[in-house]
Amino acid sequence: MSIPSLSLKDKVAIVTGSRTGIGRAIALAFAEAGAQVTVCDLIIEDGELEAAAEEVRKLGQRSLTIQADVSRKSDVENLVQKTVDEFGSIDILVNNAGVLARAPLLETTEEVWDKVINTNLKGCYLCCQAAGRRMVEQKRGSIINITSAAGIRPIPYRAAYGTSKGAIITLTQTFAMEVAQYQVRVNAIAPAFVRTDMLAKALKENPERANKIVAEIPMGRVSEVSDLIGAALYLASDASLWVTGHTLVVDGGYLAGDYVAA
């Protein structure tokens, strides 16, 4: 019996929100595993997105840099078309682009609600739809949606964010059922409290809250972006050919139940 490989040799991947943080880490991991990668983000002015693409190239893979607002259908269609024009196909899509808003529901403005839902949920839907059509034609492909533990276990002051992430889990399951017959797989990864620049800043500003968060995680620390790479490689590769409609929780035990540090 042969052991399934985590190699992504000759695969083509799109990773949204890959300028920094989780998306950038996944893009680089995919390149190291052999994939050609389109990196995209809404922000390009600071040069970080192009720097991510250059890191992919240093790993010996081709890379394409595209500015895209995933909540705009025209931007998403352009993202997919340019990737196909450049590389000839799309084998992997990682829907990572997202925004976070922290506010009580009673104080959440319509503008903030719409921004979170449009970016996180509508963006995921549009990217699934556009890339999914190509994958159905090819009769192969893997879509990975980055959701959150907040979409499974409610977190106060995260109503818009948690709602968007919970809906992504339902979208993942539904779309997986619809495209399974074409050998297209759709799965999700649900992390909790990942040390991105945004979280690191928040924890530094509020040490008391940082201690409280860590106390709720059985493994005793917040996640690093590197903790998600194994899950992403697994779901992107042929090692998970019989896995679809699944949400893989990567949270250090946060969702295992109420936890009080000893």
- The reply to whether 47 falls in a domain is yes
- The reply to whether 5 falls in a domain is no
Give the model's pLDDT for residue 59: 98
Question: Would you call 234 a catalytic residue per the annotation?
Answer: no
pTM (2 d.p.)? 0.96
Give the model's pLDDT for residue 214: 87
- The reply to whether 185 falls in a domain is yes
- The reply to whether 208 falls in a domain is no
Give the model's pLDDT for residue 136: 98
Q: Which of 29, 39, 38 is nearest to 7 (CA)?
A: 29
- The reply to whether 228 falls in a domain is yes
Give the model's pLDDT for residue 261: 53
Instruction: Please give the angle made by the CA atoms of 213, 216 and 217, to the nearest 5 degrees.
Output: 95
Euclidean distance between CA atoms 241 and 142, whole angstroms: 9
- The reply to whether 50 falls in a domain is yes
Domain residue limits at 68? 12-195+224-249
- The reply to whether 207 falls in a domain is no
Domain count, the chain: 1
CATH code at 30?
A: 3.40.50.720
Give the model's pLDDT for residue 259: 57
| From 125, 161, 234, 259, active-site residue | 161
- The reply to whether 131 falls in a domain is yes
Give the model's pLDDT for residue 213: 87
The per-residue pLDDT string of the chain (262 residues; one tens digit each, 9 = 90 and over) reads 778 889 999 999 999 999 999 999 999 999 999 999 999 999 999 999 999 999 999 999 999 999 999 999 999 999 999 999 999 999 999 999 999 998 999 999 999 999 999 999 999 999 999 999 999 999 999 999 999 999 999 989 999 999 999 999 999 999 999 999 999 999 999 999 998 876 777 778 788 887 888 889 999 999 999 999 999 999 999 999 999 999 999 999 999 866 555 5
